[in-house]
Structure 1
Amino acid sequence: MRNHLARLLARLAVLTTEAAVLGLVFGAALLLFFYLTRVVFVERSAALDGWAFQQLDSLRAAWPGLTPWVRAITFFASLPWLVAAGLLIPAGLARAGHRREAWEVLLAVAGAALFNQLLKLHYHRIRPDSALLPQSGLSFPSGHAMIGMALYGCLAWLLWQHGRHPIWALLLVAWAVLIGATRVYLHVHFATDVLAGFAAGLVWLALLRLAMKVKV
C-alpha cells in the first residue's frame, strides 16, 4: 500500500512540475506574441526589423558562401518537408508502439499549420519586398518559424520527457531557431514575423501538451 501511495505521490509531483513549466512557457510566449503585435501593428515600429536585416545583410556580404547553406537549412521547415515529417514521424512512432507520442507529433504539426494560416489571415501583413527568393503568402507570423518550432519543439519535449539524450532535445530547439533566422537572412520574413512565429508555436505546443496530459 505504501509503495502504491509513494508512486502516486511521485507521479503527481511530476505532473504538477510539468504543468507549472507548461504554464510558464504558455504565459511568456503569449505575452511575447502580443507585445510583437503591438510593436508591428500599433506602434508600427520597424526598428527591430531594420536592425535584423542590417546585421544579416552584413553577414551575407562578408560570407557570400553562406547563402546556399541557408537555402538548404530553410528547406527543413518548408511545406514539402513538414508534410513528409508530419506524416512519417507519427507513422514510425505508432509502429514502434508509441501511439500517444505519434498523435502528439501529428497534432503539433497539423494544428500549428492551421493556427498559422488563421493568424496570417487575421493580421494580413505583406512580406518584405526585398526577398532573395520568390515566396507567396502573407508574412505575420512566419510559418517556417511557427510550424518548425511546433515540430522540433514537440520532438525535443518528447526526448526530454523520456530522459533520452537531453542534448539532442536542446539541439532540436536550436535547429528550429536557426531555421527561423534563415527566413530573415533571405528577406522572406521580418524579424518580428519570426519571433512571433516562435511565440505562437510555443503557445500551441503548451496548449497541446496540457490537453494531452488531461486526456491521459
Structure 2
Amino acid sequence: MNRFTTRIVALIGLLTAEVVLSILLLLAAFGLFFYLARVVFVENSVALDQWAWGIVDGWRHAAPGLMGPVRFVTTFAALPFLLPAGLVVPALLFWRGHRREAWEIVVAMAGGILLNQLLKTIFNRPRPSDALLNTYGLSFPSGHAMMAVIFYGALAWLAARHFRRPGWAVPLLLWAGLIGLTRVYLHVHYATDVLAGFAGGLAWLVVVRAGLRFFWKEEKVLLEEGEVMRK
C-alpha cells in the first residue's frame, strides 16, 4: 500500500503548471499540424502558399542582396550543421554534469530526424518546382523548420529553465522562425510545409520533455523505494 501511495503522489506531483502548459502546447501543435494537412491534402488549397510566396517574392525583388544572407541563415538547420551540433552540445552538457539535459538534446534530435522522414514518406508531397536552391527529398513537413524548432527550442528551454538565462530564449526561438522563413523565401518549401514543420517540431519536443521528465521521476521514486527497503 505504501508503494502504491508513493507512486500516486509522484504522479500527482507531475501535474504542475509546466505540465499543464506542455499539454496545451501539445494539443495546439497537433491541431495546427492536422489542420494544415487537411488544407493541403483534403481541400487541396494553395491560397496560403501563394499568399506567402507573393510576400517573400516582393522582398526578393525589392532587395536582391538578401539572397546571400538568406542562404547563409538556412544552413543553420541543415544536417551538415545540425549533426555535429547535436553531438557537440550534448557532449558539453555531459562534461558539465548536466546528464538529463544532454539526453534531452540527443533524443530530441535523433527522434526528430526519424519522425520528419517518416512524415515526409506518409504525406509524399513533392517540393516546389521553382526552387531557388538545389534540394532533394519530399516537402511536407519542412525538415529545416521542424529541426530548427527542436534544436533551438530545446536550447531556449534549457537556457530559461535550467541555466537561468531566460533572455536567451526569445532570440533562439526567433532564429528558428527565421530559418523557417528562409525556406519559403528560397521556394524550397511551401509555407504550409514550414508551418507544419514548426507544429511537428513543437509536438515532438513536448513529448520528449514529458517522456524524459516521467522517466527521471520514476527513476527517483525507485531509488527512494530502494533506500526505504534497505532501511
Q: TM-score, normalised by structure 2?
A: 0.87
1:105-124 matches, cutoff 5 A: 105-124=105-124
| CA distance, structure 1, for counterparts of residue 122 and residue 14 of structure 2 | 38
| CA distance, structure 2, for counterparts of residue 185 and residue 72 of structure 1 | 13
State whether structure 2 residue 211 is matched by structure 1 residue 211: yes
1:67-216 matches, cutoff 5 A: 67-162=67-162, 164-216=164-216
| CA distance, structure 2, for counterparts of residue 180 and residue 14 of structure 1 | 33
Match of 1:65, SS state, is helix
Match of 2:64, SS state, is coil
| CA distance, structure 2, for counterparts of residue 33 and residue 72 of structure 1 | 28
Structure 2 unpaired stretches of 5+ = 1-8, 217-231
Cα deviation for residue 13 of structure 1 reads 7.0
> Which amino acid is 1:70 matched to?
V
| CA distance, structure 1, for counterparts of residue 15 and residue 90 of structure 2 | 24
| CA distance, structure 2, for counterparts of residue 162 and residue 151 of structure 1 | 16
| CA distance, structure 1, for counterparts of residue 62 and residue 165 of structure 2 | 36
Sequence identity percentage: 56
| CA distance, structure 1, for counterparts of residue 86 and residue 52 of structure 2 | 30
| CA distance, structure 1, for counterparts of residue 13 and residue 61 of structure 2 | 52
Paired position in structure 2 for 1:3: none
Number of aligned positions between the proteins: 206
| CA distance, structure 2, for counterparts of residue 95 and residue 81 of structure 1 | 21
Cα deviation for residue 14 of structure 1 reads 8.1
Match of 1:102, SS state, is helix
> Which amino acid is 1:32 matched to?
L
| CA distance, structure 2, for counterparts of residue 109 and residue 64 of structure 1 | 34
| CA distance, structure 2, for counterparts of residue 199 and residue 25 of structure 1 | 9
1:86-105, Cα deviation, whole Å (9 max, x unpaired): 11100111011111100101
> Which amino acid is 1:175 matched to?
W
Cα deviation for residue 163 of structure 1 reads 5.3
Larger Rg: 2
Task: Supply the RMSD in Å over aligned alpha carbons.
Answer: 1.4
> Which amino acid is 2:183 matched to?
R
| CA distance, structure 2, for counterparts of residue 182 and residue 31 of structure 1 | 24
- Structure 1 segments of 4 or more deviating over 4 A? 12-15
Match of 2:16, SS state, is helix
Q: TM-score, normalised by structure 1?
A: 0.93
1:43-93, Cα deviation, whole Å (9 max, x unpaired): 000000001011000000001111100000000000110101111100111
